[in-house]
């Protein structure tokens, strides 16, 4: 290994370069030290001495320079790979099969509640305290459940970053333990006491507001679909002759078509609903526009006018009501989950559950409807007997 000398050369493209000729591993090599006159002779000599020091340690200056450039490029890339950049990459990669409404909701949570606080932090520098600081802005407003949801969302992004190799560890792991528990009365409050359910059904039947809103609330306990799935129902999805309602994949949270067997009580309610919306595309149009569906707030306000407060009953609570009582009554969990259209982790079961359990679900839905009618009748008799 023999060191050479420093020289100044002019390449074909113009400009003059300081170069160091040297031998390494028995091969003649040249190291560019900079462009003249941007790099002075003094600076070129300093770089030559640095190269000689590397040679003395058995290090090839050219390879060392390449590695240094690669490290610098990696550092620069890490600085541009912020939490927001990775989150948007995760969003475009992992949410394509979700409904447009759900994707919009996730994007809104990121842009309004997370990016303003940690969006510009390089992901490699992200720490658990950064995420906690972001979600605690939401927690401080009393939105405990939303703070938990934001933590879960950040966790999905952090796991994605680890899997694709951006970081080695999931810094969001276990963060929910640092948050206060979700108050029970704020977590989709529902009614599961049979006598109270009967009284709720009577209150819905006696609702004197918008008839389409009343029909929506009368149907919801029987079918216990998500609010957005019911409110957006089109008459073309409902086959009353077959007693089936097929919700297309585009309107489902998990982007899979969902069959809802209709008990005879539900068929009768849909027949009654035709008197109010049978000439429109939507089964549950808004009172203010026949081309827009009924709002979730419209259903919620109706419950509030019936006297059911925030901690007593929510629109989503009809799903919790059905899930709790059907499980208590001994129906197979797989059948209940299939009817709730919850996500199925197993891809084979996910593909065939809707067909595999359809007969069982049809029977369960009719028995559930009959059970609800029994609760309503019992509540009615109790109300009559209590009259003076």
3-state secondary structure of 245: strand
Is 148 among the residues known to form the active site? no
Q: Could you tell me which of 182, 170, 98, 171 has the C-alpha nearest to residue 138? A: 182
Q: Which CATH superfamily is domain 1-57 in?
A: Integrase, DNA-binding domain (3.30.160.390)
d(CA 114, CA 107): 10
Is 94 among the residues known to form the active site? no
Is 208 among the residues known to form the active site? no
Look-up of token digits 């890490």: 78
Dig out the tokens for 347 from the structure.
Answer: 């891809």
Is 361 among the residues known to form the active site? no
Tell me which of 1.10.150.130, 1.10.443.10, 2.40.110.10, 2.60.40.10 is the CATH number of domain 83-182: 1.10.150.130
Residue boundaries of the structural domains of the chain: 1-57, 83-182, 194-385
User: What pLDDT does residue 16 have?
Assistant: 79
Q: Taking a C-beta distance cutoff of 8 angstroms, is the pair 369, 264 a contact?
A: yes
User: What pLDDT does residue 359 have?
Assistant: 92
Other beta carbons less than 10 A from residue 258's beta carbon = 21
Assign domain 194-385 to its CATH architecture. Answer: Orthogonal Bundle (1.10)
Other beta carbons less than 10 A from residue 295's beta carbon = 16
The number of helices, as runs of H, and strands, as runs of E, in the chain is: 16, 8
Length of the chain: 388
Dig out the tokens for 351 from the structure.
Answer: 């593909």
The one catalytic residue among 319, 354, 361, 376:
319
The one catalytic residue among 19, 199, 226, 251:
226
Q: Taking a C-beta distance cutoff of 8 angstroms, is the pair 48, 31 a contact?
A: no
Q: Could you tell me which of 189, 190, 193, 209 has the C-alpha nearest to residue 379? A: 193
pLDDT in tens, the chain (388 residues): 334 455 555 555 556 778 888 888 778 888 878 787 777 878 878 888 888 888 878 888 778 777 767 666 656 556 678 999 999 999 999 988 877 777 888 898 899 899 999 999 998 889 999 999 999 988 887 778 888 989 999 999 999 999 999 889 999 998 988 999 876 544 578 999 989 999 999 999 999 999 999 999 999 999 999 999 999 999 999 999 999 999 998 888 878 889 999 999 999 999 999 999 999 999 999 998 888 999 999 999 999 999 998 888 999 999 999 998 998 888 888 899 899 987 654 444 444 444 568 999 999 999 999 999 999 999 998 888 777 6
The one catalytic residue among 162, 253, 255, 304:
253
Dig out the tokens for 181 from the structure.
Answer: 């528990």
Is 136 among the residues known to form the active site? no
Other beta carbons less than 10 A from residue 213's beta carbon = 20
The one catalytic residue among 242, 352, 363, 381:
352
User: What pLDDT does residue 183 have?
Assistant: 67
Is 207 among the residues known to form the active site? no
User: What pLDDT does residue 77 have?
Assistant: 59
d(CA 316, CA 220): 10
DSSP string, 76-145: HHHHH-BHHHHHHHHHHHH-TTS-HHHHHHHHHHIIIIIHHHHTTSBGGG--HHHHHHHHHHHHTTT-HH
Look-up of token digits 């606080």: 117
pTM above 0.75, yes or no: no
């Amino acid at each position: 290994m023999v060191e050479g000398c420093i020289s100044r050369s002019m390449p074909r493209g113009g400009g003059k370069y300081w170069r160091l000729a040297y031998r390494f591993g028995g091969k003649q090599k040249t190291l560019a030290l900079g462009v003249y006159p941007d790099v002075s002779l003094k600076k070129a000599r300093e770089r030559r001495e640095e190269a000689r020091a590397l040679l003395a340690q058995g290090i090839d200056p050219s390879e060392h320079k390449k590695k240094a450039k690669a490290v610098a490029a990696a550092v620069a890339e890490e600085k541009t790979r912020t939490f927001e950049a990775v989150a948007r990459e995760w969003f475009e990669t992992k949410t394509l099969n979700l409904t447009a409404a759900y994707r919009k909701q996730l994007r809104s949570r990121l842009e309004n509640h997370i990016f303003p606080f940690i969006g510009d932090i390089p992901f490699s520098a992200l720490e658990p305290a950064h995420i906690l600081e972001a979600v605690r802005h939401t927690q401080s407003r009393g939105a405990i459940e939303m703070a938990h949801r934001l933590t879960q969302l950040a966790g999905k992004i952090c796991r994605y970053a680890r899997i694709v190799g951006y970081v080695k560890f999931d810094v969001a792991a276990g963060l929910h333990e640092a948050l206060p528990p979700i108050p029970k009365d704020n977590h989709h409050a529902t009614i599961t006491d049979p006598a109270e359910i009967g009284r709720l059904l009577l209150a819905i039947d006696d609702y004197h507001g918008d008839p389409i809103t009343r029909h929506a609330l009368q149907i919801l306990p029987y079918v216990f679909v998500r609010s957005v799935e019911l409110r957006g129902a089109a008459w073309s999805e409902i086959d009353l002759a077959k007693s089936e309602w097929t919700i297309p994949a585009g309107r489902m949270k998990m982007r899979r078509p969902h069959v809802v067997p209709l008990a005879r009580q539900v068929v009768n309610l849909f027949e009654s609903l035709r008197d109010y919306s049978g000439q429109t595309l939507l089964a549950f149009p808004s009172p203010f526009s026949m081309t827009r569906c009924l709002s979730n707030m419209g259903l919620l306000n109706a419950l509030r006018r019936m006297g059911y407060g925030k901690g007593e009953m929510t629109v989503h609570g009809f799903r919790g009501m059905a899930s709790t009582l059907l499980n208590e009554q001994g129906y197979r969990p797989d059948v209940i989950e299939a009817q709730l259209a919850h996500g199925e982790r197993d891809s084979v079961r996910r593909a065939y559950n809707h067909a595999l359990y359809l007969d069982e679900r049809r029977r369960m839905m009719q028995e559930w409807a009959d059970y609800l009618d029994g609760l309503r009748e019992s509540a009615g008799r109790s109300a009559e007997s209590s009259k003076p």
